[in-house]
Amino acid sequence: MMRNSLFYSIALLLMITSCIKPFDPGLNDLASNKFVVQGSVSSIEGWQYVYISNTSNISQAEYNPINDCQAEIIDDQGNIFGLSQYEDGVYRVWMNSTDLVPYRSYMVKVITPDGQILESDFDQLPEGPDEVGDVYYEIKDIPTNDPEYTIHGVQLYTDFSANPEDSKYYRWKLTETWEFHTDYDIEFYYDGVVHQVSPPDTSQRVCWKTILVPEVYTLSTVNLSENALNAVPLNFIYNTSNRLKIMYSLYIEQSALSEDAYNYWDKLRINSNQDGGLYTTQPLSVKGNIKNISDPEKEVLGFFQANALSIKRIFIEPNPDFELNLLSSCQINGLRFGFIEIPTSEYPAFLFSNGGTYSLATMTDECVLCSASNGTNNKPDYWP
């Protein structure tokens, strides 16, 4: 009897598990095989860029640039500015200050290699402040749902001020760069025999890392009494990051936008900041201003905008009042049985040194090679 019960239990379990299939919400077809066109005309003389790609499958997200397109920027006076391919999926054209006129409207037209015509709506170039306002920070503690856990960090702000006749719609794009150092020099390494580097090699110890801040920052002053606002919050830097350990720089691009462009970026901001689940609003649902003229039923993602641009770079040095809580990526591993533990695939293996001699311990690459932490040891031209 017990044997029969066990048999039926196993059979029932197999039936249940065989009926369970991975849940697929059907977003892959919606998300893939769409054109993405993103670009702008700014008020600053120079290269104007347009990025052209295809979306990827949600389960295998990747950048799919489209090469060999014909692309041009057209203004409402009939002037045409042909773009040339600069990199994979990246097209650019140099526009002079005389080509960039406030209240003139611009659009982009793209012909893909298979002959599909993509066009944006016209977007008007507004006026905005010539300079970014003061940028500063305050050390801040942010409470969480756990009363025993508080987030410590630095909150950056900017003071915004524009003329009454300027645009009432703005976006900030942020790029951060910081210097960081490895914990050790290269002094001993093993590749079948022990080598000593004398004097120790410090050339791989200092690096810089540059990334685009992923968050979207927007502001509308339509409902404010004046076209200004102090302490507009920008990015937050956690004290668990090494950004503020040595030297940190923030490059701020402040764009005055049309109302349509602001609405597009503000919706992206809302999408990127919400903590909802699978069926909350997806970025894919943010409608841009690009259309497929050849096949109007096919949605095109992205936005082409004209923006009055002002820029600023700031540097922040270490603050003794800001306590860091860093976890080093450098790991030191003892060799219980000697060098035989080191596989040839890990040559050269860096050895931990102490006072001019080495120990039977290896160090991970992050201990001595700053490039192992995704940095570059080419000092930026703008670095102090």
Summarised one tens digit per residue, pLDDT across range 336-349 is 999 999 999 999 99
The pLDDT score that the predictor gives to residue 15 is: 40
Alpha-carbon 51 to chain mean position = 15
Q: Where in the chain is the domain with CATH 2.60.40.760?
A: 27-124
Nearest to 264 by CA among 286, 293, 236, 242: 286
pLDDT digits (tens, 9 = 90+) for 12-37: 333 433 443 443 434 444 456 899 99
Question: In the predicted model, is pLDDT for residue 96 greater than 60?
Answer: yes
pLDDT confidence bin for 63, thresholds 50/70/90: confident
| DSSP code of residue 32 | S
Mean pLDDT of 289-306: 96
Higher pLDDT, 276 or 307: 307
DSSP category for residue 60: G
Which residue in 281, 269, 32, 257 sits closest to 123, CA to CA?
257
**What do you get for the CA distance between the two ends of the chain, in Å?**
83
d(CA 339, CA 192): 8
Amino acid letter, 319: N
Cis bond before residue 199 (omega within 30° of 0): yes
- The CA-CA-CA angle for residues 163, 164, 170, to 5°, reads 70
State yes or no: pLDDT of 57 exceeds 90.
no
The domain 27-124 is classified under which CATH number: 3.40.50.300, 3.40.50.150, 2.60.40.760, 3.50.50.60? Answer: 2.60.40.760
- Please report where in the chains the tokens 């369970």 appear, as a residue: 20
Average pLDDT over residues 188-216: 96
What single-letter amino acid sits at 110?
Answer: V
Q: Which tens digit of pLDDT belongs to each residue from 247-282?
A: 999 999 999 999 999 999 999 999 877 544 434 444
pLDDT at 12: 38
Q: How far is CA 317 from the centre of its chain?
A: 23
pLDDT at 60: 62
Closest CA to 305 of 75, 86, 125, 70: 125
- CA 363/CA 370 separation, integer angstroms: 13
- Report pLDDT for 133: 98
Q: In the sheet that 186-190 helps form, which strands lie side by side, from edge to edge?
A: 194-201, 186-190, 349-354, 357-363, 332-334
